[in-house]
């Protein structure tokens, strides 16, 4: 057997074993908290926090504003395991490395995954401050975490992507938003590698392709989650206007600031979703 495949299997089971030893509580819900949205992890009750750097097999997080730790505990009465900060392709991690935590969550028994991120809004229908539900995505990252020597242990080779974002979870999220008086905007999300933000010509292309929002994450994790048959809910916070026909510059600081401002609304929504899940 390919030694890299064996090493990957080992990394998944070593990390899962480490986490289970630190916190034996079983959780069925996984959370991946994107840029500026990590405050949700502070709401977790009876938390057990583990820095990524101490978890065997985990890559090291390098992005400013990302805490880089795994927090397990209770949210809205449910056991959850949250990634406070994620790994990005633009940090130089391979797709396989950066999606390892999703495989570890699956190994720990997690079957529902809530994936969040900060995105640019490319249409006037998705201004900054919008909370969006991802209905579908376009992978323009130029890579795919399922590429590589095939290992049946990791799941199917050719996976169905007709319902990447679980319709039942989307409906549940809509009901939660309605109950809280929040608007949850349905969006098609385009994922690019970054770390450069898009040129106006690139934005024009993305809009023409049918995308509403653009970001630099989520898709790798969703591909792996679907390979493992996990149910996925994708939520985005629009942090900046990425409009092809207006010259508006964007910075990482701004992305973080707007995500922080939306934070309280976002936390309320995710908490209500988890309560009813």
Token reading at 249: 């510059």
Q: How many CA atoms lie within 13 A of 75 on its CB side?
A: 27
What is the maximum alpha-carbon separation in the chain?
Answer: 54
Binding span for ligand HPA by CB under 6 A among 97-105, 124-132, 212-220, 265-273: 212-220
Contact flag: residue 198 with ligand HPA (CB under 6 A): yes
Residue closer to ligand HPA (CB basis): 119 or 228: 119
Strands of the chain (E only): list them. 29-33, 45-51, 69-75, 78-84, 112-121, 131-140, 184-192, 213-215, 231-241
Contact flag: residue 101 with ligand HPA (CB under 6 A): no
Residue closer to ligand HPA (CB basis): 44 or 242: 242
Contact flag: residue 189 with ligand HPA (CB under 6 A): no
What is the C-alpha radius of gyration for the chain, rounded to an integer number of angstroms? 18
Token reading at 181: 């008086």
Q: Which of positions 108-167 make contact with ligand HPA (CB under 6 A)? A: 118-120
Q: Which position has the token pair 């985005």? A: 236
Q: Which position has the token pair 């056991």? A: 79
Q: According to CB under 6 A, which one of 70, 169, 242, 243 is a site residue for ligand HPA?
A: 242
Binding mask 165-184 for ligand HPA (x = CB under 6 A): --------------------
Q: Which position has the token pair 């289970």? A: 20
Residue closer to ligand HPA (CB basis): 73 or 85: 85
Residue whose beta carbon is closest to ligand HPA: 120
Binding mask 17-56 for ligand HPA (x = CB under 6 A): ----------------------------------------
Cα separation values, 112 from 29, 78, 217, 226, 232, Å: 5, 12, 18, 10, 6
Residue closer to ligand HPA (CB basis): 232 or 259: 259
- The binding site for ligand HPA (CB under 6 A) comprises 118-120, 197-198, 214-216, 239-240, 242, 250, 255
């Amino acid at each position: 057997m390919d030694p890299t495949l064996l090493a990957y299997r080992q990394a998944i089971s070593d990390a899962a074993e480490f986490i289970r030893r630190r916190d034996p509580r079983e959780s069925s819900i996984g959370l991946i908290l994107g840029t500026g949205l990590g405050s949700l992890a502070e709401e977790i009750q009876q938390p057990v926090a583990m820095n990524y750097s101490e978890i065997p097999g985990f890559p090291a997080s390098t992005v400013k504003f990302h805490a880089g730790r795994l927090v397990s505990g209770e949210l809205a009465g449910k056991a959850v395991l949250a990634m406070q900060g994620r790994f990005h392709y633009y940090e130089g991690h391979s797709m396989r490395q950066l999606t390892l935590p999703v495989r570890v969550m699956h190994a720990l028994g997690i079957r529902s995954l809530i994936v969040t991120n900060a995105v640019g809004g490319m249409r006037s229908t998705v201004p900054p401050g919008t909370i969006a539900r991802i209905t579908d995505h376009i992978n323009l990252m130029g890579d795919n975490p399922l590429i590589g020597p095939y290992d049946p242990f990791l799941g199917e080779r050719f996976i169905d992507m007709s319902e990447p974002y679980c319709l039942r979870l989307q409906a549940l999220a809509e009901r939660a938003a309605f109950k809280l008086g929040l608007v949850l905007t349905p969006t098609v999300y385009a994922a690019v590698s970054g770390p450069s933000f898009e040129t106006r010509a690139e934005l024009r292309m993305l809009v023409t392709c049918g995308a509403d929002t653009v970001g630099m994450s989520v898709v790798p994790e969703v591909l792996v989650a679907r390979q493992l048959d996990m149910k996925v809910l994708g939520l985005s916070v629009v942090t900046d206007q990425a409009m092809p026909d207006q010259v508006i510059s964007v910075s990482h600081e701004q992305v973080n600031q707007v995500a922080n401002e939306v934070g309280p609304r976002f936390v309320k929504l995710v908490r209500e979703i988890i309560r009813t899940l």
